[in-house]
Amino acid sequence: MLPLGVWGLALGQALLITGNILLISINALIGQQLTPLPSLATLPVALQFIGLMAVTLPAALLMRTLGRKAGFLIGNVVGVCGAGLCCFALFQSNFYIFCLGTTMLGMAIGVSQQYRFAAIELCSDRERSRAIALIMGAGVIAAVLGPNLAVWASHLHFSQAFAGSFFVVMLLYVLTAVVIANIKLPHANIADTQDSGRSLRELFSQPNLMTAVVAGAIGYGVMVLVMTATPIAMHDHHHPFDQTASVIQWHVLGMFLPSFVTGRLVAKWGEIPLILTGCLLLALCALIGQLGSQYWHYVSALIALGIGWNFTFISATSLLASCYRSSEKAKVQGINDFLVFGSSALASLMAGQLQWWLGWKQLNLVALAAILIAVAVVLRSRRGSALEAAVGE
């Protein structure tokens, strides 16, 4: 049985991902409404990703000093302030204040990415993959609540459209803070702050660490690239919006629903085989993209994309946790998330341009090339780990 703290973290994650999905549905529309230049309409979305990426390492180091609970509560305060700024920007019709608000929301989302690492610290090594999977499985609740909350919030009686949505986001951050405040989380370890651990060169000489980081970054980047381009591609191929919404919904379920079994699969097969299985599913998505542009092509491709991401991300996170000592966790976790979410930010910015320049099939070939690089790194690292084990014997 997993500790109660892990269940509390999963509930907090569900609330925050619900808010994230709500934000995804409205930020680009608000940017289009407020922007002084049409070319800047997606800047608030891009700044949200940049805020997320920029805070990953500082957040990890902050928690090393203050502890998990204090770090998470500070992240929730930043989220409340960011949502409040966005709401204020709507009433002032100020695009730049709105951009500042979305940047702060991205920072809050970046802090919440540490929930999965906090869950690991509450468990034994044997339960590690199950704990990560439970945190990720919270996305299933969010996939149902997020879109419905977005619709409900749009009917709240504010003088500005979408202001109610940010009121809901603020409420979700407050509720999450209440949950976090009432669960037991590890305190800061003074010994960890005094011991810097191994150098980055020593750490990244570990084959398993390279595997974890590369698999996580490429898996996440490929998922964001294809997911972001899908609505544009379906519009270009004259699919109605309800079909596009259906494809994205199936994709989100593919991302999070397998989490309830992924932990057990990792425990049974190990992280490396499941990472390779995830890469195979991501490659399958890219190959389906070569077959055609009918509705079923998109549905099957995006389901494979979601499950492939789930396998690679959860397995990579579990593998990463075996590659550092307690004193090294802050810098390793921070650098890992910087690279993983940096790749997703880059992919989100590239998706529209690649779809415009190359088209759907060629975009999927770019994704396939990235996947093959990940597979090559994983296989090479696997051989390196086998050689290290043989030498150790």
- The answer to whether residues 177 and 288 belong to one domain is no
* Contact status, residue 133 vs residue 314, Cβ threshold 8 Å: yes
Domain contains 335: yes
* Contact status, residue 374 vs residue 215, Cβ threshold 8 Å: yes
Residue 192 confidence (pLDDT): 55
- The answer to whether residues 39 and 99 belong to one domain is yes
- The answer to whether residues 214 and 178 belong to one domain is no
Residue 190 confidence (pLDDT): 56
Domain contains 48: yes
- The answer to whether residues 30 and 176 belong to one domain is yes
* For the chain, counts of helices (H) and of strands (E): 16, 0
Q: What is the 3-state secondary structure (H, E, C) of 270-285?
A: CHHHHHHHHHHHHHHH
Which residue, among 314, 319, 283, has the nearest Cα to 301 in the 3D structure? 283
pLDDT digits (tens, 9 = 90+) for 151-173: 677 667 666 777 888 888 999 99
- The answer to whether residues 171 and 231 belong to one domain is no
Domain contains 217: yes
Domain contains 194: no
Residue 295 confidence (pLDDT): 92
CATH number at residue 129: 1.20.1250.20
Domain contains 258: yes
For residue 176, what are the CA distances in angstroms to 15, 97, 134, 151, 371?
7, 25, 17, 21, 35
* Contact status, residue 97 vs residue 85, Cβ threshold 8 Å: yes
Polymer length of the chain: 393
* Contact status, residue 140 vs residue 262, Cβ threshold 8 Å: no
Residue 154 confidence (pLDDT): 66
- The answer to whether residues 235 and 358 belong to one domain is yes
pLDDT digits (tens, 9 = 90+) for 117-144: 888 888 887 888 788 888 888 878 777 7
- The answer to whether residues 36 and 134 belong to one domain is yes
Final residue of a domain: which of 127, 160, 188? 188
Q: d(Cα 363, Cα 244) in Å, to the nearest integer?
A: 18
Q: d(Cα 30, Cα 33) in Å, to the nearest integer?
A: 5
* Contact status, residue 273 vs residue 211, Cβ threshold 8 Å: no
- The answer to whether residues 213 and 173 belong to one domain is no
- The answer to whether residues 145 and 253 belong to one domain is no
pLDDT category at 74 given cuts 50, 70, 90 is very high
Domain contains 231: yes
DSSP state of 181: H
260-288 mean pLDDT: 93
Q: What is the 3-state secondary structure (H, E, C) of 78-132?
A: HHHHHHHHHHHHHHHCCHHHHHHHHHHHHHHHHHHCCHHHHHHHCCCHHHHHHHH
Domain contains 66: yes
DSSP 277-333: HHHHHHHHHHHHTTT--SHHHHHHHHHHHHHHHHHHHHHHHHHHTTS--GGGHHHHH
pLDDT category at 70 given cuts 50, 70, 90 is very high
Final residue of a domain: which of 156, 188, 220? 188
Domain contains 364: yes
- The answer to whether residues 183 and 258 belong to one domain is no
Range of the domain at 80: 1-188
The tally of domains found in the chain comes to 2
- The answer to whether residues 378 and 286 belong to one domain is yes
pLDDT of residue 81 exceeding 90, the answer is yes
* Contact status, residue 39 vs residue 165, Cβ threshold 8 Å: no
- The answer to whether residues 241 and 296 belong to one domain is yes
Which residue, among 238, 234, 257, has the nearest Cα to 247 in the 3D structure? 234
Q: In the chain, how long is the greatest CA-to-CA distance?
A: 71
Final residue of a domain: which of 133, 155, 188? 188
292: left (phi over 0), alpha (psi -120 to 50) or beta: left
Range of lowest pLDDT (92-101, 186-195, 280-289, 338-347):
186-195
Helix extents (H) in 1-94: 4-34, 43-66, 68-92
177-200 mean pLDDT: 75
- Exposed, middle or buried: residue 51 (CB in 10 Å: 0-12, 13-18, 19+)? buried
Q: What percent of the chain has pLDDT over 70?
A: 90
The Cβ of residue 147 has, within 10 Å, a number of other Cβ atoms equal to 19
